[in-house]
Structure 1
């Protein structure tokens, strides 16, 4: 055997590490994003996870998917705990980062689209980090309690209890929102765009649920309501004020994008993204607007991501 054989073997191993990780990357990104609510932090978690993975003896790995999910979950939980103080000191409401998706991504998987919807991510924010990780891994990705126990560092009994508590809390808070229906959201979004373009207050009010809520996340870095606005009249006024500016703001353009598994609205001034507006609907009406205006959170919209449950 030539003297180059050991080096060749190391290179082959590195290629296999990369191939396994790349094949599962959409799944791993989705796990991290749903635990963190941040595409930027999810990308960082995947980078750190790959560095750890590249040092692993592959002969000792019996199930690559389970092993990598465990690594990513642990890194995501470490990130959540490290950033908890930053979120406590956040100015105004905190919303997850919007996730720009390929036009086809999530469209054929209702569970996946629901799990990354802004409405669901807002609900998940009410859980503890461990509850969120357990709920996501079990309910969305179908991991067993034993696998989850290894990932979160708890006993199987504790994981079962956490899963039950998380499911109950999510169900209680999720009643306000209907399951994601991309076609329905697209229809309502189109009607919304038409109403705001013409300043049709009556048409806009007809699209809003009586108790509609407008929640804006600016982080104190741009103009936005510091508290949620509640009620169709208040929400309609806010909407017409913001979207009516297209007539008097040079270079302002409004377009629809595929965000978090459903159509959303993006506002640009020239080529600078100023805000992303996501809708939640129920019974054919808009129940919630989620307006992400913080420029730090909009940076993630510079590129599309791929998501998967497999």
Structure 2
């Protein structure tokens, strides 16, 4: 059993990445990985059974993906009843070393499993089968034969599911994100300066014409119930939000990576005495912000550690 546990722990990070990107929920992803362990330890406790598994990562990925597929199929009703807009639970990590912002042709390949919030939002529009096919094949390079095994279909059908998902992910109403970290830093520095200025026209110039702003409060804080689309509409909303934050005072921000892209973790004192925590991520394409995603549902950001005394506005990457 110790040997099985060691083998599984070596794959836990990979399985968690797969499940997180399929489900958009850290807690649900952890549950899926734990259930994968239970099935693994039960099915392969006999050394003879374990010896027949030549590709352990493949076996574990298939098992975990089937569990995620079941969760996705049952989650539809829960998502339809969700109060307001829905965003995935953010995966928040520290900033890279100073030289990590340098443009690097290999950066996109290195970050291939970091979808960014924009694409995770798009994945919510897909059927469970399309989402599983897309994540497994396009993100984690799982062959279509293995994807078909997860879905209980043929490789050709799995290929078609991934193709439909790909078209949806790159559709005209999808916030585009193609910037490396260096470009993200340049654009977001201009974004913060525009917000600081309070000038509508300056902020509009930083936003793409079809930019979208989405906020997920889960019913705990005020938030727009539908996406705000268009540079001017989004700019007015964002300037209003930051003006309210400044007037309340106490806004503190720490720059972070959110699902592999630049963003920030913020805290603000709410009038009723609560501390509002928020994780903001962005989509950046061709020198402009195409998407602003504010996650302020305490059920999704409540486990983040409190900000230290060095956190302040404006953020500097």
Are 1:65 and 2:71 counterparts? no
Instruction: State the Cα RMSD in Å.
Output: 2.5
Alignment correspondent of 2:248: 249
Task: Give the Cα separation in 2 of the matches to 1:102 and 1:255.
Answer: 10
Shift, 1:177, TM fit: 0.5
CA contact under 8 A between 2:177 and 2:290: conserved in structure 1?
no
Q: Give the TM-score normalised by structure 1.
A: 0.85
Alignment correspondent of 2:146: 147
Q: Which has the higher contact order (CA 8 A, sep 6+)?
A: 1
Task: Give the Cα separation in 2 of the matches to 1:292 and 1:71.
Answer: 30
Are 1:95 and 2:87 counterparts? yes
Q: 1:114 to 1:237 in 2, by over 3 A?
A: farther
Alignment correspondent of 1:161: 160
Q: Give the TM-score normalised by structure 2.
A: 0.83
Shift, 1:21, TM fit: 1.6
Aligned length: 290
Alignment correspondent of 1:10: none
Task: Give the Cα separation in 1 of the matches to 2:219 and 2:174.
Answer: 30
Alignment correspondent of 1:110: 108
Q: SS in structure 1 opposite 2:221?
A: coil
Q: Which runs of 5+ in 1 are unaligned?
A: 1-13, 304-310
Are 1:283 and 2:282 counterparts? no
- Structure number with the higher helix fraction is 1
Q: 1:228 to 1:199 in 2, by over 3 A?
A: same
CA contact under 8 A between 2:17 and 2:113: conserved in structure 1?
no
Q: 1:109 to 1:37 in 2, by over 3 A?
A: farther
Shift, 1:229, TM fit: 1.4
Q: Which runs of 5+ in 2 are unaligned?
A: 45-49, 307-317
Q: 1:180 to 1:170 in 2, by over 3 A?
A: same
Task: Give the Cα separation in 1 of the matches to 2:24 and 2:221.
Answer: 21
Task: Give the Cα separation in 1 of the matches to 2:209 and 2:107.
Answer: 31
Alignment correspondent of 2:314: none
Shift, 1:264, TM fit: 0.6
Q: 1:189 to 1:100 in 2, by over 3 A?
A: same
Alignment correspondent of 1:132: 131
Q: 1:169 to 1:238 in 2, by over 3 A?
A: closer
